[in-house]
């Protein structure tokens, strides 16, 4: 269990609750689930509180695309709900 102290009140939070999970970590977990289901290593996989079987793997494909889109916009280290805005990335390329 994880404990959070706020104003001398102790809150006991379930271990599964991760308050600081980046988009990159979420994408890695979804891709791992897809790989296991596609390879036949497992017949079902539980992710984000949902039990997924090979028959409804489309949910994972959609979630993967959504996370990739968010990573393109905000970056892999973005934490939804904690960061206030997308990190602006500027790349300069010069050719000699």
* Number of Cβ atoms within 10 Å of the Cβ of 33: 22
Task: Give the pLDDT confidence of 14-52 residue by residue, as tens digits.
Answer: 444 455 789 999 999 999 988 988 888 887 878 778 787
Domain positions in the chain are 2-74
**Arithmetic mean of pLDDT, 64-85:** 86
How far is 23 from 71, CA to CA, in rounded Å? 6
Radius of gyration in angstroms for the set of CA atoms belonging to the chain, rounded to a whole number: 18
**In Å, how far are 20, 27, 48, 88 from 17, measured between CA atoms?**
9, 17, 10, 29
Residue recorded with tokens 């599964």: 16
Residue 61's SS3 state is helix
In the chain, alpha helices (H): 23-39, 58-74
Q: Is the pTM of this model over 0.75?
A: no
């Amino acid at each position: 269990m994880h404990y959070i102290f706020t104003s001398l009140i102790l809150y006991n939070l379930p271990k599964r609750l991760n308050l600081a999970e980046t988009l990159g970590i979420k994408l890695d977990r979804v891709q791992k689930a897809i790989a296991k289901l596609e390879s036949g290593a497992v017949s079902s996989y539980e992710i984000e509180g949902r039990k997924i079987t090979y028959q409804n793997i489309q949910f994972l494909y959609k979630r993967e695309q959504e996370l990739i889109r968010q990573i393109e916009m905000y970056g892999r280290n973005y934490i939804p709900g904690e960061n206030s805005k997308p990190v602006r990335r500027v790349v300069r390329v010069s050719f000699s």
